[in-house]
Amino acid sequence: MLQGFKVIELATQIAAPGAGGMLAEWGAEVIKIENRGGDPARLGFDTLTPDGQSPAFQLDNRGKRSVVLDIQKPEGREALVRLVKNADVFLTNLRPRALKRARIDWDTLKAENPRLIYASVTGYGLQGAEADLPGYDVTAFWSRGGVASIMIPKGEEPYMPRAGVGDRACSLATVSAIMTAAYERNRTGVGRLVETSLIRSGVYAIGSDLSIFMRLKRLASTRPRATTATPLINFYKSADGRWVCLMPKNLLGDWSKIATAAGRADLIDDPRFNTDRNRRDHTPELVSLLDTAFGALPFDELVRRFIEADLAWAPVQTPAQLIEDPQAQAAGCFVETPDGLGGFIPAPALPARFPGADEGPRGPTPGLGQHTDAVLAEAGYDAEEIAAMRAHGAAA
């Protein structure tokens, strides 16, 4: 779908490479520029895989081409600029000061290619006294972006999130921004600077809570199961130890369905629980009663009753259970990625699907510098020039 759309990516880790990975999977030509050490994300469980590749790195970089350039050397920088001149997008997460110092900032590159979409991914944006601070999803998205504070139950200490959660939210925002700018360019013929940041992605991720707080200066706290603000929106365990999540579509109408599914229809008109307000006022009692009722039923029976009542529910699944889930498989949650050795490896799919279009990774994850010579040749360098760049350490 994006055939002919060319992206030059100068980025490491997850948020920006994740955006480039999506574009690559949808047909764009994505050329990943790395230094001699390579993207640090290449390391991590790489020694445990037969192909020596980090599984997380593969997810964000499958189907790209890798070129090693030292942009601190004049020849390396010139090669990068030459690639950008014929590109649709320059995607980077280098900090603003470093980009300016290397003369590959927006003002410099737009003069070389007025149609260029320059996509900047940072921790804290491009303006402000702290715009140049290093930022990761744990710091900028999770911590400073307010996500951690509202996830932690009252009185508990902060905990670390799982890897890359905030990064991938920012990746989605970055792809949206790039494609919006591309649509505008179709009309105007002129590119633009687009910026996303981890902190802004974090703010948007908690937008429901934050919009309420900004308007009313009130915020519901995150509480343990037994004292949650709404007992019907909760987790309950079956007799065989499987957790399920309940999320009523309608707090008024679904109470009778939930009580009936629990085998406790006698509670429907109980004055402690017959209104949403009364249920909130008696949360510990109701949670305890539902724990006992649901805890007496095997998981399969719980599922049958929830489906029969048309309740919104879901099993709490481990990764091992998730990859065996028939519905997750039917929804296209997993793909087979070429491993570059003639085989395929299973991996998570991207979050969007285009029925009728070819789906899945376009190619394997590139080795470090695997395509340096080919890409430079396509940019007009002859074999002698490429050899000279290698000899000077500008390419590898």
**Structural domain ending residue among the three candidates 315, 341, 371:** 315
Which pLDDT value is given to residue 153?
86
Domain containing residue 366 = 6-205+329-391
Residue 338 is classified by DSSP as: E
Written as six digits, the tokens of 152 are: 């932690």
Mean pLDDT for the chain? 95
11 HSE (CA, 13 A, CB side): 33
Is 357 found in the same domain as 311? no
* Number of other CB atoms surrounding residue 197 within 10 Å: 25
Q: For the chain, how many helices (H) and strands (E)?
A: 17, 11
More confident residue, 166 or 154: 166
Is 157 found in the same domain as 60? yes
Residue whose entry in the numeric block shows the structure tokens 């919006």: 180
DSSP reduced 3-state for 57: helix
Is 23 found in the same domain as 86? yes
What is the per-residue burial (b if ≥16 Cβ within 10 Å, else e) of 45-67? ebeeeeeebbbbbbbbbbbbbbb
Is 134 found in the same domain as 258? no
Is 284 found in the same domain as 141? no
Which pLDDT value is given to residue 97?
95
Is 194 found in the same domain as 269? no
In terms of Cβ atoms closer than 10 Å to its own Cβ (0-12, 13-18, 19+), residue 162 is exposed
Is 271 found in the same domain as 148? no
Query: Catalytic residue among 167, 240, 300, 339, which?
Result: 167
Question: Structural domain tally of the chain?
Answer: 2
Distance of CA 18 to the CA centre of its chain: 7
Instruction: Tell me, yes or no, whether 213 lies in a domain.
Output: no
pLDDT in tens, 215-225: 999 988 888 89
Would you say residue 51 has pLDDT above 90? no
Measured distance CA(92)–CA(69) in Å, rounded: 15
Instruction: Tell me, yes or no, whether 154 lies in a domain.
Output: yes
Which pLDDT value is given to residue 44?
83
Which pLDDT value is given to residue 138?
96
Residue 143 is classified by DSSP as: I
CATH number at residue 260: 3.30.1540.10
Is 348 found in the same domain as 294? no
Instruction: Tell me, yes or no, whether 321 lies in a domain.
Output: no
> pTM of the full predicted structure?
0.93
Instruction: Tell me, yes or no, whether 289 lies in a domain.
Output: yes
pLDDT in tens, 61-91: 999 999 999 999 999 999 999 999 999 999 9
Written as six digits, the tokens of 231 are: 């007992």
Measured distance CA(18)–CA(12) in Å, rounded: 10
Which pLDDT value is given to residue 155?
84
276 catalytic? Reply is no
CATH number at residue 83: 3.40.50.10540
Which pLDDT value is given to residue 49?
82
Instruction: Tell me, yes or no, whether 214 lies in a domain.
Output: no
pLDDT in tens, 165-209: 999 999 999 999 999 999 999 999 999 999 999 999 999 999 999
Written as six digits, the tokens of 36 are: 């001699």
Instruction: Tell me, yes or no, whether 254 lies in a domain.
Output: yes
Give me the sign of the Cα torsion angle 44, 50, 52, 57: negative
